[in-house]
Amino acid sequence: MSVLSRTKLQGQATYFGQNQDRKSTLQTTPLTELILDFGGIQGATHHGHTRSACVRVKNLYSRGTEIHNVRQLTIVSEEELAILAARLGLDEIKPEWLGANLCVSGIAHFTKLPAGTRLQFEGGVCLTTDTENLPCKLAQASLERATGAELPRFVAEAMGIRGVTAYVERPGTIELHERCQVWLPRVYHYPGLDILSVE
């Protein structure tokens, strides 16, 4: 029995981007196609089978601990970028301003897709989502530089619509405007989650 279910959800790739030096900027440089191997985008900052633990997993590991890289790609959606722009009073938010590697359109409530969701593209590439890409001050600063606006509400307004991180399950090349099929894992509500959570 398959652990994944085909859904009626389909999306389309509308932007590809790559960052080769996160120390100088969070923004990504547009690409005409996305060439992926098992480490992610060849030549990108987040490429690799492993990565150093960062602040996002500080409760589990000390900073710099080598861990499996499930953060090879950051993916956003056109629909959620439009919502965020409206909340912040901006005309638009381009994917590259938030450091996105991939932007898709046509998938409702994209950030709320459960971890383990597969995005299977027509050419065969398959990406597996990990977790929500929580908004942070770095992304806020990048957006403020790109727009020239002060955006103190960015973190609060972007929560739940900032996109997700993902890793490559099947490598290959994704072409611009290529469509993808959404496959969902079985999702359960863990009993007693509210009283078990300590943080």
Kindly list the structural domains of the chain, giving each domain's residue range(s) and its CATH number in brackets, ordered by start: 4-187 (2.40.33.20)
* Confidence label for 36 from pLDDT (cuts 50, 70 and 90): very high
Calculated CA dihedral for residues 156, 162, 165, 169, nearest 10 degrees: 150
> Would the CA dihedral through 197, 153, 17, 126 be positive or negative?
positive
The mean per-residue pLDDT over the stretch 44-55 comes to 92
* Residues across the chain: 199
- Kindly report the number of other CB atoms within 10 A of residue 59's CB atom: 7
User: Tokens 């971890």 sit at which residue?
Assistant: 115
* Confidence label for 199 from pLDDT (cuts 50, 70 and 90): low
The pLDDT, as a whole number, for residue 21 is 77
The pLDDT, as a whole number, for residue 92 is 98
Q: Name all contacts of 46-53 with Cβ < 8 Å and 24+ positions apart.
A: 46/19, 46/71, 46/72, 46/73, 46/74, 46/101, 47/72, 48/72
pTM of the model: 0.93
